[in-house]
Amino acid sequence: MQGASKFGEIALVVAALITGVPAVQANPRKVHVVGLGAVKRVPYSKLGDPAGAATGESALKIRPLIVDGQVKEWTAGDAHDVTDRSMVVRRALRLNDSLPGEKQTDKHWVWQRGPWLMVDRVTGHVLALKLPDYDPGVSQVSWFRDYGAYCGITASGKSLYAVVAQLTVRKPVLAKKLEGIDLETRQQPVCGPPEWQREPLRATFYPTGKDAVSFDVIAGSAVLVEETGDEAVVPDAAKTN
């Protein structure tokens, strides 16, 4: 019996070498379920949120980001599909607004709009994006493909820039100073949401109290790398019968 068992093992290895099929079958990849839940309204005030409350806004609409039946994050605003499996959405933060010395029973919480997240629907991974010169209270990001256009503020807080960032690229694709804007006496909002044009690829910015300004963007290949998990993912359009 032992000889027969060893013969079977040898035959399996030889067959694998000939056909190129691994002798040990790989475990099937876990299927993740990712989605956004129902909208919920939470108390919200401009004084309690330095991250850019709109004029007259008294409530913030948030939705849970649900991964495999569990609430992973809370989000605000619309999501943007970057590819057929990756999306970006803005995180909603719930911060403790209690002062030192206040009783725990009187703990006060406030909601704020926070940074952007990139979500992979296949792996279920959630990544916090670090957009260059991004300021939650100023930057209203408009997405196109894997580009985000917004008004950004430098680390010194003294200069306002028109910024176009590309996902997973550290340096901005475009960073142009918007002249004549005094950030110390700035109006709210500082900039309106930018607009995109496809051909030629162009982003138009709308600084408050100033003329709109447009910049052409040199289009490059998408650099977003999506993990494939345990096995290769073949897009539906590439599958053959």
Same domain, 160 and 186: yes
pLDDT for res 189: 75
Provide the number of structural domains found in the chain. Answer: 2
The verdict on whether omega for the bond into residue 200 sits within 30 degrees of 0, i.e. cis, is yes
Residue 43 falls inside a structural domain: yes
Secondary structure (3-state) at 51: coil
For the entire predicted model, the pTM comes to 0.75
Domain boundary among 83, 98, 129: 129
Q: Tokens 């959405």, residue?
A: 89
Give CA–CA dist 51/118, Å, rounded.
19
Nearest to 42 by CA among 61, 18, 64: 61
DSSP state of 8: H
Same domain, 135 and 124: no
Condensed to tens digits (0 to 9), the pLDDT of residues 120-178 reads 999 999 999 999 999 887 889 999 999 999 999 887 777 889 999 999 888 899 999 98
The verdict on whether omega for the bond into residue 189 sits within 30 degrees of 0, i.e. cis, is yes
Decide: residue 53, CB within 10 A, 0-12 exposed, 13-18 middle, 19+ buried: buried
Domain boundary among 73, 100, 129: 129
Nearest to 189 by CA among 55, 60, 56: 55
**Could you tell me the residue range of the domain that residue 98 belongs to?**
30-129
